Amino acid sequence: MNTVPRFAPANDRVLLLAATAQAFKVAATTIAAPASIDFTAGLVNMQGQVAFTASNASVLTRVGNVATLAYAGMVGDSVTVTASIVADGLTYTASQTVSKIFDGVTGNSARICYSKTSLLSLASAPATLSTQGATSYPPIDTWGAGTVWEGSPPLFGAGESLYRSDGVFNPASGTTKWSAPYLNALKVGQLSAISADLGKVTAGDIYSATLHGGAGYPTNNYSWPSNGGSGFHLSSQGLLIGNINVPGGFFQLSSTGYFEMPGLTVTPGGAEVAPIARFSGELVAAKGSFRGELVAATGTFGLIRSATSGQRTEYDSNGIRIYNAAGNLIVRLGVW
């Protein structure tokens, strides 16, 4: 008895394409791994010869339904390989894309070296120096006698300083280029051990025992110069400017309150002792008022009067005049 089969054989058709790698890894030496990639076509419910194509005009070699793309035959940084077959008038395709992955180029490396020295300073020439290798250092005695350059800061004692040089290692040339050294640290018992040309200095609060300058003040002594020079001195004892022993201006202000400049001195007073001011010179077109006592004073005056109006006494070259509270002249002695 004839019967209809309950199950029919499968008739779905598929073209599969598998690649042995998805990328070529290219080292800095331009050598790629792997050297080639195989593309294998798999047919489901089909038979026949598969056709292979590659983008960018890349070159494929094939054996049966396996195509091979060598790194040397790859054009561009990525390639798409396509497999195709025609069955019963239908075209079946599958594709895989592979790329190039590049290793980065090793960059330059920063390096540092140190040397201790008892010299006041090291030379700045040569400005740069090259040594061979990634672990090399400048030769002994470079930039200063007795210097030994090393990778770690050496221990150093009082009177010694630590210098540093910065370098860059170039892997392409295999050399390290060092720059002229600079002061990294120093150890001294007191800052008077330092001698330096500081140039311009910007600072906040400065505490100092003595400031002095100029040819007349080579030391920190608080006294007028005896060498004919000039300059200044500033300390807790006072301020000196110029030189009293040579013609010209000078100025002194001591911490005791004594003040002196050409034509004027002020001696400080004390308990129940008034200060004394001494002036010598000429007052020209002077205006103002004076209170106090003139002792042993000598001067030439056009008019001396006790007040400008009202009750007063006036004295000039013509004599003495006395006025009452109303401003009327009541006594006159002299010439009229």
Judge whether 139 and 178 are in contact, CB under 8 Å.
no
Amino acid letter for position 127:
A
Number of other CB atoms surrounding residue 51 within 10 Å = 16
Bridge partner list, 331: 322
Please give the torsion angle defined by the CA atoms of residues 109, 114, 119 and 125, in that order, rounded to the nearest 10 degrees. Answer: -10
Task: Tell me the β-bridge partners of 30.
Answer: none
Q: Is the dihedral of CA 114, 118, 123, 129 positive or negative?
A: negative
User: What is the DSSP code (8-state) at residue 25?
Assistant: E
Q: How far apart are CA 259 and CA 261, in angstroms?
A: 7
Pairing of strands 78-87, 90-102: antiparallel
pLDDT for 260 = 92
**SS3 of residue 191 by DSSP:** helix
**pLDDT value of residue 100:** 95
What does pLDDT average to in each consecutive run of 10 residues of the chain (336 residues)? 59 92 90 96 93 96 96 96 94 96 85 94 94 96 96 90 95 93 80 68 79 91 92 94 91 92 85 77 67 67 85 90 92 85
With helix as H, strand as E and coil as C, how does 50-88 read? Answer: CEEEEHHHCCEEEECCEEEEEHHHCCCCEEEEEEEEEEC
Beginning with the edge strand found earlier in the chain, give each strand of the sheet holding 329-334 in spatial order. Answer: 304-305, 312-316, 319-323, 329-334
d(CA 265, CA 277): 6
pTM exceeding the 0.85 threshold for the entire prediction: no
Domains of the chain by range and CATH?
A: 14-102 (2.60.40.10), 109-192 (no CATH), 210-277 (no CATH), 304-334 (no CATH)
Q: Which residues of 234-273 are buried (b: 16+ CB within 10 A; e: fewer)?
A: bbeebebbbbeeeeeebebbeeeeebbeeeeebeeeeeee
Q: Indicate the burial class of 66 (C-beta count within 10 angstroms; 0-12, 13-18, 19 or more).
A: middle
